[in-house]
């Protein structure tokens, strides 16, 4: 299927590895030029070189921490007029809400709520003027299906979802869509670090915790980041202009809906 976005430009945030990288690769496979972001310049440049070599598109690395205004300004300077924006960042650490400080809350809200909102604010009007825009926010299934210890993540991402719901109607007539992708358990470094936290808390070997979690999942496996990447690319396609304001859970039927 031709997604009709070859030659477009996409900013993919937090994309040197994991889900962000999978989105960047799926878009690059469609001929989309990529502005690739993460904080660490070394891993970012390696990822950019690998994507360029495989897909023959232009990949521009922008090393910046998007939780900081200066990081977002660097991204804006490198790419003032993208066609596609994939918002993503590292997730807040799990923990006990009784121990979270004001600084912990500030970090989570800056990274997972204010940063994507600021980038949408910086780019959506330009997309509307150009009559094409696709914005995808990678959030978490924890917004719909709470996980104990993930309160920072659930709170910050719920704020983003609430904001998105207030802007989609104003953008629809100019062919700008905004959707949220809510991953369940996908096999990335982030997932493994969450298991390490759980294993320590429960005094068990990590491998046992991982095996037990897989056994609980209806699919009997974790999601492959490439599966989320391809879904993201579809949402960014020319033909997906009538899908907006949706929050879509990708969790292998771990939390099926009745209807
Ligand atoms: P990951 O494998 O740890 O990758 C995170 C990526 O984000 C890296 O490229 C990292 O590079 C970059 N990054 C982190 N903080 C950043 C920042 N402030 N500014 C710019 N880049 C940043 O994580 P993942 O599993 O792909 O997760 C991506 C998002 O999905 C997270 O918010 C996570 O909580 C959420 N999620 C994941 C799962 C899952 O099962 N994997 C499930 C639900 C939700 P640098 O460190 O170099 O910046």
**CATH number for the domain that contains residue 179:** 3.40.50.720
Residues 56 and 157 reside in one and the same domain:
yes
Residue 230 lies in a domain: yes
191 lines ligand 1 (CB under 6 A): yes
Instruction: For residue 222, count other CB atoms closer than 10 A to its CB.
Output: 19
Q: Do 133 and 88 lie in a common domain?
A: yes
Asked if 73 and 115 count as a contact pair (C-beta separation under 8 A), the reply is no
What is the tens place of the pLDDT at every residue in 74-113?
A: 999 999 999 999 999 999 999 999 999 999 999 999 999 9
R_g over Cα of the chain: 18
**196/171 same-domain check:** no
Q: Helices (H) and strands (E) in the chain — how many of each?
A: 9, 7
Is residue 259 in a domain? Answer: no
For residues 173 and 200, state if they share a domain.
no
Q: Taking the C-alpha atoms of 248, 211, 88 and 140 in order, what is their torsion angle to the nearest 10 degrees?
A: 40
Tell me: pLDDT of 258 over 90: no
Q: Please write the tens of the pLDDT for every residue from 202-240.
A: 999 999 999 999 999 999 999 999 999 999 999 999 999
Rounded (10°) angle between helices 41-55 and 18-29: 30
Residues 203 and 147 in one domain: no
Q: What DSSP element (H or E) covers 230?
A: helix 225-235
Between the alpha carbon of residue 146 and those of residues 22, 108, 143, the distances in Å are 25, 17, 6
DSSP state of 92: P
Q: Which numbered atom of ligand 1 lies nearest the CA of 71? A: 19
Same domain, 240 and 201: no
pLDDT band at 192 (very low <50, low <70, confident <90, very high): confident
CA 88 / ligand 1 centre spacing (Å): 7
Q: What is the mean pLDDT of the chain?
A: 97
pLDDT digits (tens, 9 = 90+) for 17-59: 999 999 999 999 999 999 999 999 999 999 999 999 999 999 9
Does one domain contain both 212 and 233? no
Q: Are residue 231 and residue 218 in the same domain, yes or no? A: no
H helix or E strand, kind and range, residue 63: strand 59-63
Domain check: are 47 and 147 in the same one? Answer: yes
The pLDDT value given to residue 197: 83
Q: How far apart are CA 88 and CA 19, in angstroms?
A: 8
Residue 152 pLDDT: 98
pTM: 0.97
Q: Are residues 94 and 218 in the same domain?
A: no
Total domain count for the chain?
A: 2
In this structure, the answer to whether residues 23 and 37 fall within a common structural domain is: yes
Does 2 reside within a domain? no
Contact 189, 18 (CB under 8 A): yes
Residue whose CB lies within 8 A of the most ligand 1 atoms, among 19, 44, 116, for a mutation test: 19
Residue 129 sits in the same domain as residue 178: yes
Put residue 84 in one of left, alpha, beta given phi > 0 → left and psi -120 to 50 → alpha.
beta
Angle at the Cα of 219 from the Cα atoms of 215 and 224, rounded to 5 degrees: 105
Contact status, residue 127 vs residue 119, Cβ threshold 8 Å: no
Determine the structural domain holding residue 203 and report its residue range: 187-222
Q: Establish whether residue 237 lines the binding site of ligand 1, counting it when its CB lies within 6 angstroms of any ligand atom.
A: no
pLDDT at 25: 98
- Would you call 86 helix, strand, or coil by DSSP? strand
Ligand 1 site, residue 110, Cβ cutoff 6 A: no
Round to whole Å and give the CA distance between 245 and 224: 25
Quick one: which atom of ligand 1 is closest to the CA of 142? 43
């Amino acid at each position: 299927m031709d997604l009709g976005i070859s030659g477009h430009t996409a900013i993919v945030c937090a994309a040197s590895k994991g889900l962000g990288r999978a989105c960047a690769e799926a878009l690059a496979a469609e001929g989309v030029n990529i502005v690739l972001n993460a904080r660490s310049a070394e891993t970012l440049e390696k990822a950019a070189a690998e994507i360029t070599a495989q897909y023959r598109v232009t990949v521009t690395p922008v090393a910046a921490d998007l939780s900081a205004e200066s990081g977002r300004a660097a991204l804006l300077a490198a790419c003032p007029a993208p066609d596609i924006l994939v918002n993503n960042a590292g997730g807040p650490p799990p923990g006990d809400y009784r121990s979270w400080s004001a600084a912990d809350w500030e970090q989570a809200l800056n990274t997972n709520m204010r940063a994507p909102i600021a980038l949408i604010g910086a780019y959506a009007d330009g997309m509307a003027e150009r009559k094409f825009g696709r914005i995808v926010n990678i959030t978490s299934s924890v917004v719909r299906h709470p996980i104990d210890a993930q309160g920072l993540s659930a709170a910050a991402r719920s704020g983003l979802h609430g904001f998105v719901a207030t802007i989609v109607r104003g953008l629809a007539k100019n062919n700008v869509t905004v959707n949220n992708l809510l991953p369940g358990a996908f096999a990335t470094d982030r997932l493994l670090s969450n298991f390490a936290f759980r294993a320590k808390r429960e005094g068990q070997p990590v491998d046992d915790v991982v095996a037990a979690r897989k056994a609980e999942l209806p699919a009997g496996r974790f999601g492959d980041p490439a599966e989320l990447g391809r879904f993201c690319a579809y949402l960014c396609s020319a033909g997906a202009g009538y899908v907006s304001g949706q929050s879509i859970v990708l969790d292998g039927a771990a939390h099926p809906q009745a209807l």
